Structure 1
C-alpha cells in the first residue's frame, strides 16, 4: 500500500463528502484502491437515487436546442445537477451544450462530474474551452479537480495545459491527485526536461516544504525507468538534496513508499544513497525496518543492504538486534527467493550469539527442503560466517 496514494484518495473522498480530511483519518490504513472504490460507490449511490428525475430531464434535453439546455443549466439546474445530468446524455450532446457555457460555470460542473463519463466529452470539446476551464481551476488552486481529469485529456490539450502551469509546485500537486496514475510517465514525458529538474529540486527549497511529499509521490508512482531517471537527477544535485529527501521521508513516515524507489536507482546512486550518514541513523533505520516488516519489503531491503558499507551494515545489525525472531524468518525467506544469502548472513554475523543461533534455527527448517547443491552452498556460507546452532543444553544432575 502507498501512504501517499492513500493520502490523496482520502482528500478526494473528503472533498466528495464535504468534510475535512482529518475527519477521515481512520481510513489511512486502507489501500488507496479501496478508498477510491468507496468514493465511486458513494457517487453511484447518489446518482442512482436521482436516476428517475434525471432520466426525464435528459429525455427533454436531448431534443432542446443546445443553447436552451445551456440556459436551463445555468439558470435553473445549477452546477451539481448539471454534472449529474451530463452522465445521462450522449457525449456529443454534452459537448454541444458546453460550448454555450462559460468557463467558470463549467469549472463548477467539473467539481461534481464523474470522470468515468467525461473521457469522450473531453475529446469532443474545443481545446480553447478546455484551456479556459483549466485556468479557472488553477486560479482557484483546485488541484483535486484538475488531477481527476488531466489524464483524460488528448495529448495536444495536455501539453498546452502543462505549459500553461508556470509553477512546478502547482504541476506536482495536480499529479499528486491524478486519477489514472499509470499515465504519469506519459504526462511527464510531455514536459521539457528542465521543468522536470526544477520540480525535483523543490525538495531542496525549505520554503516549499509542504510540496516535498508531492515530489516523493511523483517518484513513487512513476514507472521503473522514470524512477531511476528522477532518482539519478536528484543525486546529481549532491548529498544535501538527497539528505533533504531522506529527512522528509522520515518525518512523513513514507519509507514503505520510498524503499521500492531506492531499489530502482542505478547502482552508483543506490550506493550513494544508502551510505549517506542521514540514512544510517538509528531512528531512520528503525522506521525502515518497521516499514520493511509491515509491508513485506525484505527483498528490497536486502538489495539496499547489499550496497551498504560496513558502518551501514553495523548500524542495521544494531537495529535488527532489538527485533523479534519473526523478522529473521521474513528476511530468510526473502533471501531464499532472491538468493541474497551473503548479504543476509553478513548482517547476521554482526548480531549477538543468541540472535545468530535464532537465525541458524530458522535456516535449519529450510535446509531439508532444498536440493543437495543449494543446501550444501547454504551450509558452507553458515560455516564461513561462523553462524552456528545453539549448543545442546546439559541436563541438570539429579538431586
Structure 2
C-alpha cells in the first residue's frame, strides 16, 4: 500500500504547488508518513504566510452585504484570489458569500481553498448547493479537489451525489481522499451492485492501481467484499489486473486481497493465464521476498497449476540466503510448513541443501 499511498500524496502536493507530478517523483521513494507530513507543511507554508492584503480584503467584505461581496469576488478577484480570501474569513461568512456565487465559479475556486478550512465551510452550506458543487467538480475532472471535500460530506449529500458521478470518478476520488477513514462508510452507501460496477470499470479505465489503493484503505469485511467482487470479474479483466501489478510492482497491494479469498476464488485467480508466465511468477516471488508477504502468497501458490508451482519453487530456490532465511523464519513463526514443504520437494538438490543449511535451521534449539 505504501507505494500507492505515496503516489497519491505526491499528486496532492503537485496539485497544491500547481506543478506537474513528474517533477516530484523523487518523493515516491520516501516513507509515506514523511511525505504526508511534508504535504501538511506545504499547506501551512502556502496558506499561513498569506500577504496582509488578503486580511484587508477579508475585513472589507464584512462591511458589505454577502451578495455584494460575492459580486466583488466574481468580477474583481477571480477564483484563485477569492478562494484565498475565503480562507481568511469566518466559515459562516465564507459560506454566506459562496451561496451567492455561481456554482461553476465556486467549483473552480475550491481547488485553491485552504484544505484546513473545508470542513468548517462545507458544514454550513445548503445541501442542494453542496450536491451541485460536487457534480460540477466531477464534470471538471477535478478528482483531487473532490478528494479533499468528500470526507466532510453528509450521508444525505453523498446519497444524492454518488448516482450522478461515473464509476471512474468514484475510483479516482477515493484514491486521493483526504479522510480515508470515511471510505468504508461510503462503500456501504454505494451498495453491492454499484460497488461491483465500479470494480468492473477499473480495467477499461486503466484504474486497477486506484482500485487497489481504495481496497487497501477500507477495513475488515468491506475489504473482503471488494476482494470477492474483484475475483468474480471476467478472466481477461483479472489478467489485466495481474499484468498491471507485475508491471508496476504492486504485489504488496494485491496479495493481501488474494489472501482474503475463499479457496474456490483463489483457484480462479491461480488459473489465470498471466500466472503461468514465468517472468510474472519470478517477479512476484522476488517481491514477496522483499515484503515478507509469504503468509499471503503461499495459499495462492498451493492453488497454482503444477508447472507454475515449479517456477515458484525454482525462483525461491535461487533467492539470496538472507531472503531464504527470512522466508524460513516467517514460515516457522506462522506455522506454514505444510504449504512450503511441497515447494521444497520441487527444488533441485542444490536448492534443498541451501534451504536446510539456513541459519534459521541451525538456530533451532536442541531437543
**Aligned in 2, Cα 1:54/1:365: closer, same or farther, shift over 3 Å?**
farther
Distance 1:343 1:153 in 2: 46
Give the CA deviation at 1:367.
Answer: 0.8
Could you tell me whether the CA contact under 8 Å between 2:168 and 2:202 is conserved in 1?
no
**Pairs within 5 Å for 1:176-195:** 176-195=175-194
The equivalent residue for 1:393 is none
Aligned with 1:336 (options 332, 335, 342): 332
- For residue 388 of structure 1, what is the aligned residue in structure 2? none
TM-superposed CA distance for 1:309, in Å, is 5.2
Corresponding residue for 1:75?
Answer: 75
> Are the counterparts in 1 of residues 137 and 146 from structure 2 also a CA contact under 8 Å?
yes
1:173 paired to 2:169? no
Give distance in 2, aligned partners of 1:285 and 1:351. Answer: 15
Q: Deviations over 1:151-186 (max 9, x none)?
A: 211111111111111x21222222222222222221
Contact kept? 1:202, 1:215, Cα under 8 Å: no
For residues 74 and 42 of structure 1, do their structure 2 counterparts lie closer, same or farther at Cα, with a shift above 3 Å needed?
Answer: same
Q: Give 3-state SS (helix, strand or coil) of 1:163's partner.
A: helix
Structure 1 counterpart of 2:159: 159
Within a 5 Å distance, the mapping from 1:263-302 to structure 2 comes to 263-302=259-298
Q: TM-score, normalised by structure 2?
A: 0.90
Q: Does 1:42 align with 2:42?
A: yes
**Alignment RMSD (CA, Å):** 2.4
Deviation at 1:221, TM superposition (A): 2.8
Match of 1:304 in 2: 300
Q: CA deviation at 1:307?
A: 4.2
**Is 1:147 the equivalent of 2:147?**
yes
Q: Tell me, what secondary structure is at the counterpart of 2:123? A: helix
- 1:201 is matched with 200
CA contact (8 A) 2:13 2:42 kept: no
Q: Is the 8 A contact 2:5 2:32 kept in 1?
A: yes
Shift of residue 52, structure 1, vs aligned partner = 4.1
1:262 offset after TM fit, Å? 1.0
- The answer to whether structure 1 residue 21 and structure 2 residue 17 are counterparts is no
- Contact 1:282 / 1:319 at 8 angstroms: preserved in 2? no
**What corresponds to 1:2 in structure 2?**
2
Please show how residues 358-369 of structure 1 align to structure 2 within 5 Å.
358-362=354-358, 363-368=360-365
Distance of 1:75 and 1:203 partners within structure 2: 41
1:136 deviates by 2.0
Alignment coverage as a number of residue pairs = 366
Residue 261 of structure 1, CA deviation = 1.3
Matched residue of 2:275: which SS?
A: coil
1:76-155 alignment, distance < 5 Å = 76-155=76-155
Distance across 1 between alignment mates of 2:272 and 2:206: 24
Matches within 5 A, 1:221-300: 221-300=217-296
Q: Give ranges in structure 1 of 5+ residues lacking alignment.
A: 369-374, 377-399
1:26 and 1:117 map into 2 onto residues whose CA distance is: 29
Cα shift readout 1:34-89 (whole Å, capped 9, x = no counterpart): 33322221121122221644444444444543233323322333322332333333
CA contact (8 A) 2:290 2:323 kept: no
TM-score, length of structure 1 as denominator length: 0.83
Q: Is the 8 A contact 1:255 1:287 kept in 2?
A: no
Q: Deviation per CA, 1:109-149, whole angstroms, max 9, x where unpaired?
A: 21011332211321210112112212222221112211221
